[in-house]
Amino acid sequence: MKQSLTVAMIQMSSVLLQREATIDKMVHFIEEASEKGAELCVFGESILPGYPFWIENTEGAKFNNKVQKEIHAAYIKSAIQPENGDLIRLQKIAKSKNVGLVFGSMERAVDRGGHSLYCSMIYIDSNGEFRNSHRKLMPTYEERLSWSPGDGHGLNVFPVGPFTMGGLNCWENWMPLARTALYGQGENLHIAIWPGNVRNTDLITPFIAQEGRSFVISVCGLMSKDDIPQDFPYADVFRENAPAMMANGGSCIAAPDGSWLVEPVKDEEGVIIAELDFNKVLEERHNFDPVGHYSRPDVFQLKVNKRRQSGFQYED
């Protein structure tokens, strides 16, 4: 069995609130990554169709505000519903290029009525099969004005080459029990996705790698004032109040000993390729395994509720 995996971190800006145009851009970079030998492509948090950078720059906390309501309505309309075929193009490119895809997306959850937004980490495998939607457990700070809290249903791991892959959205990666829930299922390749900025990834990426004795791939997005589309609702208001750079990247990879395989990449859009050697995981597990020989299940145990949460049940 092959003992390595070629991965591509795709650091890009969204075409904000434009689902199909953002998918166009994703497909372009997937094709480029495939040509470079990638077997797994990873994008940033909420890349499809974008992170709500406008909230902190346009009085996002102002109650019943016309600007916020109209932008939010557009955000909902541009979100995805996998059940309705919104990811078909990405599934087809994954299958045709034999490459797995992990990316952040705004999801209109059918099982929660279809009107609220969930920050979901999506996994499509190399056969083009939709495998997982992990809805972010707790939106961070101003995100709570736009996103809904998720559940544990998507806290799953999957075989990818010689690795067992799991992942979390942004500040979920700071949640020790969320990480442990993945370690306990055998995770040794951890995906952390972020909206952007080196300050998010430079410390935590090697820390998680050392804690989990796993490879950790942190992938970020980019967003500048110039990336705000002209047809974005209240684009002029957003531009007037936004900083020149809202997300400067920071995508990186740490090895299982906490050393850098790829140091944080700043201000560059494109494909970043790396090869992961599975043997490095086994070498580092010699002295520490967080849920194996260095754990104490007689003292500590974690209970994880993986049921998909819904506010209703129908009985015929």
Percent of the chain with pLDDT over 70: 100
Per-residue pLDDT tens over the stretch 70-93: 999 999 999 999 999 999 999 999
Per-residue pLDDT tens over the stretch 214-238: 999 999 999 999 999 999 999 999 9
Over residues 126-138, the mean pLDDT reads: 98
Give per-residue burial for 21-30: e unless 16+ CB within 10 Å, then b.
ebbebbeebb
pTM: 0.97
Per-residue pLDDT tens over the stretch 93-118: 999 999 999 999 999 999 999 999 99
The pLDDT, as a whole number, for residue 1 is 78
Domains (range + CATH), the chain: 4-284 (3.60.110.10)
Three-state SS string over the chain comes to CCCEEEEEEEECECCCCCHHHHHHHHHHHHHHHHHCCCCEEECCCCCECCCCCCHHHCCCCCCCCHHHHHHHHHHHHHCECHHHCCCHHHHHHHHHHCCEEEEEEEEECHHHCCCCEEEEEEEECCCCCEEEEEECCCCCHHHHHCECCCCHHHCCCEEECCEEEEEEEHHHHHCHHHHHHHHCCCCCEEEEECCCCHHHHCCHHHHHHHHHCCEEEEECCEEEHHHCCCCCCCHHHHHHHCCCEEEEEEEEEECCCCCEEEEEEECCCEEEEEEEECHHHHHHCCCCCCCCCCCCCCCCCCCCCCCCCCCCCCCC
Model confidence band, residue 313 (pLDDT cutoffs 50, 70, 90): confident
Over residues 28-57, the mean pLDDT reads: 98
Distance CA 40, CA 160 (A): 8
The pLDDT, as a whole number, for residue 98 is 98
Average pLDDT over the chain, rounded to an integer: 97
Indicate if the pLDDT at residue 196 is higher than 90. Answer: yes
The pLDDT, as a whole number, for residue 311 is 79
Residues in the chain: 316
The pLDDT, as a whole number, for residue 310 is 84
Indicate if the pLDDT at residue 312 is higher than 90. Answer: no
Residues 25, 29, 32, 37, CA torsion sign? negative
Percent of the chain with pLDDT over 90: 97
Model confidence band, residue 32 (pLDDT cutoffs 50, 70, 90): very high
Model confidence band, residue 316 (pLDDT cutoffs 50, 70, 90): confident
Is 70 within 8 Å of 219 (Cβ atoms)? Answer: no
The pLDDT, as a whole number, for residue 254 is 99
Catalytic residue ranges: 45, 136, 170
